[in-house]
Amino acid sequence: MFKKEKIKRKHRRIRAKISGDSQRPRLHVFRSLKHIYVQLIDDTKGKTLLAGSDHEISGKKNKTEVAFMLGEKIAEKAKEKKIKEVVFDRGGNIYHGRIKAVADGARKGGLKF
């Protein structure tokens, strides 16, 4: 089985257990080889409330530091929309490295998981 297929299977299992609503949207993280993308999704309405990516962050830093800064930035945007709590969706990836950095940055920015 290929790596992407394994990630998709894990993501399906995760999504069967978690779901976001307007009070607690789902914080979904997508990690590619070069970039990282984050969305806050309301699954009951099927709408993306907020989105962010590492393209918004300037300056030369390593990928993990950029992911941490992205987590802080998405927490700021969520505060503006009066969102305080989220459900974390790691997207089938292992919770370490850049995925963990996004979560830590969001927690530091004020979001509760």
Domains of the chain as residue ranges with CATH: 3-109 (3.30.420.100)
Does the predicted model carry a pTM greater than 0.75? yes
Q: Measured between alpha carbons, how far is 20 from 83 in angstroms, rounded to an integer?
A: 12
pLDDT tens for residues 33-53?
A: 999 999 999 999 999 999 999
| Band of pLDDT at residue 20, cut at 50, 70 and 90 | confident
Contact 111, 102 (CB under 8 A): no
Say whether pLDDT at 1 is over 80: no
Q: Measured between alpha carbons, how far is 75 from 38 in angstroms, rounded to an integer?
A: 11
> Given this model, what pLDDT does residue 4 score?
86
pLDDT tens for residues 58-104?
A: 888 899 999 999 999 999 999 999 999 999 999 889 999 999 999 99
Q: Measured between alpha carbons, how far is 110 from 2 in angstroms, rounded to an integer?
A: 37
Task: Give me 45's structure tokens.
Answer: 């309405």
> Given this model, what pLDDT does residue 45 score?
94
> Given this model, what pLDDT does residue 79 score?
95
